[in-house]
Amino acid sequence: MDAMVTGGKAMVADLRRLFADVRNHSEALAASLSAEDQALQSMPDASPVKWHLAHTTWFFEQFVLRATLPDYDVFDADFGFLFNSYYEAVGPRHARVARGMITRPSAAQVGDYRAYVNAAMQDLLAEGRVEIADLVVLGLNHEQQHQELLITDITHAFAQNPLLPVAIPGWRMPVHAGDGEVAWVAFAGGLVEIGYRGEEFHFDNEAPRHQVWLAPYALANQLVTCATMLDFIADGGYRTPSLWMADGWAQVQAQGWSAPLYWRQSGDQWLGFGPGGSAPLDPSAPVAHISWYEADALARWAGARLPTEPEWEAAYGHPRLAEMTGSVWQWTESAYRPYPGFRPVAGAIGEYNGKFMINQMVLRGSSAATPAGHGRASYRNFFHPDKRWQFSGLRLARDC
């Protein structure tokens, strides 16, 4: 998940503080993780904490400092190779699956790298150059995306350790807004507009704003809860092929899925696992850590369906809809594809979003792990339909 700015207008004066705040927050997330923890990669989809900290720094060094300052001395010439994520245009890079091999540079050296780049950035920002503002804002949004991945990746890694360590002490899911009674909120549909509108920062995949025709529909006023998932399990949902897409059913059988990721039974009790460690499952909490296949099957079992992207976005802001952001990402019916008229920007930055627009499904909203400011109406998150390690859940929809 990466980013491209098209219309950032933040004042340069504010940028110095914003830059410091975002950068400090990344380090705060890693505060209770040892150097060993930070080097850990538990699967190809995930990256080490240290890699997130270095890659987001490389972004500023590569696209801002080196591009702007002819005399800039890179911190270490090897870091470009080690910490490029997927920018083909920038040159070769270390294999994604082998990010966990990089015990050197150490966590301490990555800390030095961050300090070095932070200082150079603050100096540059102090010059008040307007032309870099958009790119800096993009870099900060990019770093915020990696803050969420940092949380979900270390959570996945710690789930592989039989000791089930705590990644972020005190971390907990927000209290569920609903009272257990789902209500349907109806919308008339017709010709709606979706996509980003405004002058602030947004990612390229949110544009261009465009018109979509919708049939009448209704959305549930709250998210699907763990209690409902328990009912689904008790009703044999994971053993009933007619509830599943064929590819999903194949996954259920191949992976032996019988509950959301991180759920396990201890005697009669269900336990979950998250950044805050292991804890008894809260039935009233929104279900999380489910794949699109599970969300789709759960919706079908409930006699409903997932919302489409335009349905979700057009409904955003309705006062009766709770938990649209800040709890769990909500899988949609919509495949992740470019909007009509979508154009990636030129150069390496253009590789951010466009080239991933296949084989993935869109999630809307944001999660408890999402930094503030990413929970807007037009935000498009996306993952392959079998992925489960994000805070991914669902909201029900139906035709009217």
Residues in contact with a copy of itself by the rule CB under 8 A: 34-40, 42, 78, 81-82, 86, 88-89, 94, 98, 100-107, 157, 160-163, 165, 191, 210-215, 241-242, 244-249, 292-293, 296, 308, 333-335, 337-338, 340-341, 351, 355-359, 385, 399
C-alpha dihedral (10, 16, 19, 21), degrees to nearest 10? -110
Closer Cβ to a copy of itself, 191 or 254, answer by number: 191
Closest C-alpha among 150, 117, 120 to residue 51: 150
Q: Of 91 and 174, which has the nearer Cβ to a copy of itself? A: 91
Beta partners for 280?
Answer: 271
219, burial (CB in 10 Å: exposed 0-12, middle 13-18, buried 19+): buried
- Nearest distance from C-beta of residue 345 to a copy of itself, angstroms: 13
Beta carbon of residue 297, minimum distance to a copy of itself (angstroms, whole number)? 11
CB of 125 to a copy of itself, least distance (A): 31
Exposed e or buried b per residue across 33-60, where buried means at least 16 C-beta atoms within 10 angstroms of its C-beta: beeebbbbbbeebbbbbbbbbbbbbbbb
| Shorter beta-carbon distance to a copy of itself: residue 228 or 251 | 251
Least distance CB 344 / a copy of itself (angstroms): 9
In this complex, which beta carbon is closest to a copy of itself, that of residue 7 or of residue 91?
A: 91
Least spacing, CB of residue 38 vs a copy of itself, in Å: 8
66/94 with CB nearer a copy of itself: 94
Question: What does DSSP assign to residue 61?
Answer: I
Amino acid letter, residue 43: M
Please compute Rg for the chain using Cα positions: 21
Judged by beta carbon, residue 125 or residue 397, the one nearer a copy of itself is 397
Distance CA 384, CA 388 (A): 9
CA 93 vs CA 81, 82, 87: distances in Å: 5, 6, 8
Return the structure tokens found at 37.
């923890």
- Structural contact between residues 149 and 270, judged by C-beta atoms closer than 8 angstroms: no
How near is the Cβ of 196 to a copy of itself at its closest, in Å? Answer: 17
Q: Least distance in Å: CB of 106 to a copy of itself? A: 6
Instruction: Specify the residue, 227 or 348, whose C-beta has the smaller distance to a copy of itself.
Output: 348
